[in-house]
Structure 1
């Protein structure tokens, strides 16, 4: 059950529903997870500074169970997500940062319980 959160100082007009659907598909494929289990939030129009500059930037948090636990895994995920974001948003790689979070089944609530019990 992947969770993706984007924080950006780009305006909401730069992040369409089609962009969100394409990003969901991209991350699901990168992580090898079913797209039906994706959770995605995009926060736009934020006051942000990256690398000493307030120029357009994006911070992405990606959390998932069992596929964000190693440097080798995250290196592969990172390449795919960076390729998508640079192409779709027109940002250079130095204006994007991705934080990978390792999620355990007991940390995700679903259907009134946690995934450990489903």
Structure 2
């Protein structure tokens, strides 16, 4: 059950309408997780910049959280170029305007249907 958050200082109208579905379709095989299990949020018009100075340059921050996906650092090292390629080739976003963070979650860190995933896996 991956969680994907894309933050940007751009207005929603400046992004392709299908940016998140396209991103999820791209991430699904990279993380070996079914696309229907992804949860996503796209937050626009954020006050954000690289470095201490406020900049008008477009900026994107992609956060991916997933159960078990990032236990091995090789995963991050392997998928990072593929994600950057998606942003540059498909969305025409400069790599210098994108930062990414990856978080590994334990089954006890995620809850749905009234229980943690850890408890649900035993039911």
Settle same-fold status: TM greater than 0.5.
yes
Q: Which moved more, 1:44-53 or 1:99-108?
A: 44-53
Distance (whole Å) between structure 2 residues aligned to residue 39 and residue 89 of structure 1 = 21
Tell me the residue number matched to 2:28: 28
Q: Does 1:50 align with 2:50?
A: yes
Distance (whole Å) between structure 2 residues aligned to residue 57 and residue 88 of structure 1 = 16
Tell me the residue number matched to 1:107: 109
Secondary structure of the corresponding residue to residue 102 of structure 2: strand
Per the alignment, do residues 38 and 77 of structure 1 end up closer, same or farther by CA in structure 2, a change over 3 Å counting?
same
Q: After TM superposition, which residue ranges in structure 1, 4 or more long, deviate above 6 angstroms?
A: none
Q: Which has the larger radius of gyration?
A: 2
Q: CA RMSD in A?
A: 1.5
Matched pairs, number: 118
Q: Which moved more, 1:74-83 or 1:29-38?
A: 74-83
Tell me the residue number matched to 2:67: 65
Distance (whole Å) between structure 1 residues aligned to residue 106 and residue 113 of structure 2 = 16
Distance (whole Å) between structure 2 residues aligned to residue 78 and residue 14 of structure 1 = 24
User: What runs of 5+ residues in structure 2 fail to find an aligned partner?
Assistant: none
